[in-house]
Amino acid sequence: MSERVLVTGASGFVGQVLCEALATAGYRVRAALHSPRALPGAAESTLVGDIDATTDWTAALAGVDLVVHLAARAHRIGETSAYAELYAATNGFGTRRLAEAARAAGVRRLIYVSSIKVNGEGPTVQPYTAQDEPHPEDVYGRSKWLGEQLLLEATAGAALEAAIVRPPLVYGPGVRANFLRLLQWVERGWPIPLGAVRNRRSLVGVWNLSDLLLRLLTHPAAPGRVWLVSDGEDRSTPELIRDIGRAMGRRVRLLPAPLGLLRLAAILSGRTTELRRLCGSLQVDMTSTCRELGWAPPVTVQEGLARTVRWYLTSGR
């Protein structure tokens, strides 16, 4: 009989792709949901409600062999340190609660999807590595770092194995925030004043992230480690916009606006965080991930963007 995998956050855009990939690979998939919803790939589902230090995982973990923990309080632009307790409750103490419950239920391995924001916000002289000293800068990054620490504490000396993944920006069907805005700008043919940006950013398609998560469920080198992931093809923001334009069959209008002018406009409009992500650099080095796990991203950036554009044009607007 195939192993059963519990996926938290299964209704999110990463979770939906992961559930289908797990089912295709022969796993029995149980989706942990906040509210009822049918999901392709999930053979069964269970309601867990809010995730925090009091969540009852008993029914969700019954008969489960493996767990992929995707659920999190997602980062929202403008949420400052005043929201720290809310982020810590879900991403920190909620993760510890799940780990303790999984350990008691006899789960064999738990994969925690954290964030590259644990490393920092960039830019750095060298790309981030899994060995770097964590330097989270916002409430979301700090809560993810707390979740990592509490997970490792809860599994220390236990039979339950744990591994941590820190992805950069994840894109694919269902993507939101800045990536969705880029898709909208390109489709509408608007002039985009980012032609003078000379940054480098790592990103990862949801299919490559899901493929790595499957590898981590079984690989003997996975437990007790932090793993970084990307598509392996870093892009500048102008290059990414041109790639989206090619996938969409649209002419891209990139204007070389001075960066100083963009910064001033961002300050006046209260959008400095968004501008930093569009114009700043953030790269990850996943050499150790590929070497030690014998893994390589199966989907190229071009193919990943083409899939994302198809979703956007059919149902993502």
The answer to whether 83 is a known catalytic residue is no
Residue entry with tokens 């707390």: 146
Residue 305 contacts by C-beta under 8 Å, 6 or more apart in sequence?
171, 243, 244, 247
Distances 303 to 175, 208, 234 between C-alpha atoms, Å: 16, 11, 14
Distance CA 103, CA 78 (A): 36
Beta-ladder partners of 226: 164
Distance CA 250, CA 28 (A): 41
Q: What is the DSSP string of the chain?
A: -PPEEEEETTTSHHHHHHHHHHHHTT-EEEEEESS----TT-SEEEE--S-STT---HHHHTT--EEEE-------TT--GGGHHHHIIIIIIHHHHHHHHHHHHT--EEEEE--GGGT-S---SS-B-TTSPP---SHHHHHHHHHHHHHHHHHTTSS-EEEEEE--EEESTT--HHHHHHHHHHHHT-EES-TT----B-EEEHHHHHHHHHHHHH-TT-TT-EEE---S--B-HHHHHHHHHHHHT---EE----HHHHHHHHHHHT-HHHHHHHHS-B-B--HHHHHHHT---SS-HHHHHHHHHHHIIIII-
Q: Spot the catalytic one: 87, 140, 171, 312.
A: 140
Active-site residue set: 140
